[in-house]
Amino acid sequence: MDIKYLKSDNPSVLSRFIDDAVKTDRQSPIKEKMSEGIKYYDYKHDILKFRLFYYNDDGKFVEETNRSNIKIPHAFFTEQVDQKVQYLLSNPVEFETADTELKTYLEEYIDDDFQLMLQEMVEGASKKAYEFAYVYRATSGKLLFKVADSRKVIVIYDDMNEVIAIIRYYDTDITKDNRKVTVTKAELWDTEKTWFFVSSSDYNNRFILDESQEINPRFHQVVEDSDGNLLGKGFGYIPFLKLSNNKNEKTDLEPIKALIDDYDLMACALSNNLVDFDHPIYAVKGYGKDNLDELVTNLRTKRTVGVSQDGGIDVKTVDIPVTARKTKLETDKEAIYKFGMAFDSSQVGDGNITNIVIKSRYSLLDLKCNKTEIRLRAFIKQLLDIIIQDINERYQKSFTRQQIEVVITRSTMINQSDNAEVEKLEAETKGQLIQNLLDVAPYLDDGSLLKKICAVQELDYDEVLQRLGSQDFSPSKKDVIDSE
């Protein structure tokens, strides 16, 4: 792809550029990794494609259809992605400001849909290495944010590694002449306008300018004046914001995929062994007939079979290596949670579940979320810059993003009895400290005594003194001692 073609206003030139970009992107190894992350999140693991083969008597390699082939995907990745998102964002992100007017304006933008968008961004980045959100103006005039599937977004850079354009494409099915046709639509975004293109088998799968769009290209924002004329205006920036999962833009699946595949294989192999060797094997000697089907029927129904005088039946069983497989499964599971940096809720321990123990079990998840939170805050700052700019333009204000504090509060399980014990100990400690002060009260002036008591109770001395107001706060040392 040669970016010089983007400088052209000729739709045919731009169409060829879109053609090359989309074809290259569909075969991109990065997009394959993204699709892999999505499949594993939807528990469509590689184990579902597992097949058994053997060499038959003719030496041919054929598929085994008589043996059990159980396929059970274990959704570790689904759990870990949801765990990460909810641990980080189960409490709504708060936007605090001392300016009440700015707070009122922010409430127009920061709603439930905005919080949902943040969750979808973190989830998408975890599965696909990075995710995009795009900005658009609703018909009501409100600025909105929506997630754009990063698998269908192409970023165009210049020679200085600066983003100069975004291509977004997607497939959709339409009915044409009573037949179903798959159409690919593409949008080319720059800092001011959007071009719309369409491709289908009717156009030899080549992109052409989408004539169904009334205005093409179209400014990012289009409004109608009182005379019915359409007025357009660009945002002045490419309205796509990127959230990366980590520095190297890797999915959360990559460190643990091989371990999950191994766990699936070991667990399914154990299930297959249990099914295949659930019944004993009979070694029959001296069976006087040629029909083995009759032998099998007799064993299944009558539980007996006639043999010759020198004959007999040996019952053979197969020892399945259950212990070894269980040990292997436990090893894989431990590694999946360790290298996936997740919280394993199945941990039992010694039963002494204090808050310190709980915190230690969340340590790996905390580390993973710390890295995500830093990037999420940077992403939110970009959103706030856009929101503040829009508020200032709409209401002729001069607010700044620095007036807003972003608060992200994580949720963890706690031991309530442990907390109660700590609070009780703290209360007893404060009580003892106050008692010690009262013991030495005869040697302190009233102001010093009050100041020390406020310090123990974590009260503001000046505020307490102000509340006393005109009250006669001059108890004698004797009154203090008698009050004990």
- Residues 61-118 pLDDT 10s: 888 787 788 899 999 999 999 999 999 998 999 999 999 999 999 999 999 999 999 9
Label the pairing between strands 153-157 and 312-316: unpaired
- Confidence check: pLDDT of 337 > 60: yes
pLDDT of residue 353: 58
pLDDT in the model for residue 36:
95
Q: Tell me the whole-structure pTM to 2 decimals.
A: 0.76
Decide which of 421 and 459 is more confident: 459
Nearest to 230 by CA among 213, 247, 244: 213
Closest CA to 332 of 251, 261, 250: 261
What is the rounded CA–CA span in Å between residue 428 and residue 459?
17
Q: What is the band of 39 on the pLDDT scale with cuts at 50, 70, 90?
A: very high
Residue 138's pLDDT is 82
pLDDT grade for 438, boundaries at 50, 70 and 90: confident
State the pLDDT confidence band at 363, using cuts at 50, 70 and 90.
confident
What pLDDT is recorded for position 64? 79
pLDDT (0 to 100) of residue 477: 45
| Mean pLDDT for all residues in the chain | 82
The pLDDT assigned to 290 comes to 53
Q: What is the DSSP letter of 349?
A: T
- Sign of the four-CA dihedral 259, 261, 262, 267: positive
Average pLDDT, stretch 145-166?
Answer: 91
Would the pLDDT of 480 be above 50? no
| pLDDT of 432 | 77
Rounded mean pLDDT, 33-48: 95
Phi and psi at residue 58, to the nearest 5°: -90, 5
Residue 233 has pLDDT above 70, yes or no: yes
Mean of the pLDDT values across residues 242-267?
94
Per-residue pLDDT tens digits for 256-303 = 999 999 999 999 988 887 777 666 655 566 555 555 566 566 655 555
Single-letter amino acid code for the residue at 303: R
Residue predicted with more confidence, 447 or 388: 388
Q: How far apart are CA 97 and CA 397, in angstroms?
A: 15
Q: Does 479 have pLDDT greater than 50?
A: no
Predicted local confidence at residue 9, as pLDDT: 78
Please tell me the predicted confidence (pLDDT) of residue 78: 95
Q: Which of 21-30, 273-282, 407-416 has the highest mean pLDDT?
A: 21-30
Q: Is the pLDDT of residue 311 over 90?
A: no
Whole-number pLDDT of residue 415: 44
pLDDT confidence of 346, banded at 50, 70, 90? confident
Quick one: which H or E segment has residue 371? helix 363-395
Q: What would the mean pLDDT of 431-455 be, rounded to a whole number?
A: 75
* 169 vs 156: CA distance, rounded Å: 14
Say which DSSP state 167 is in. E
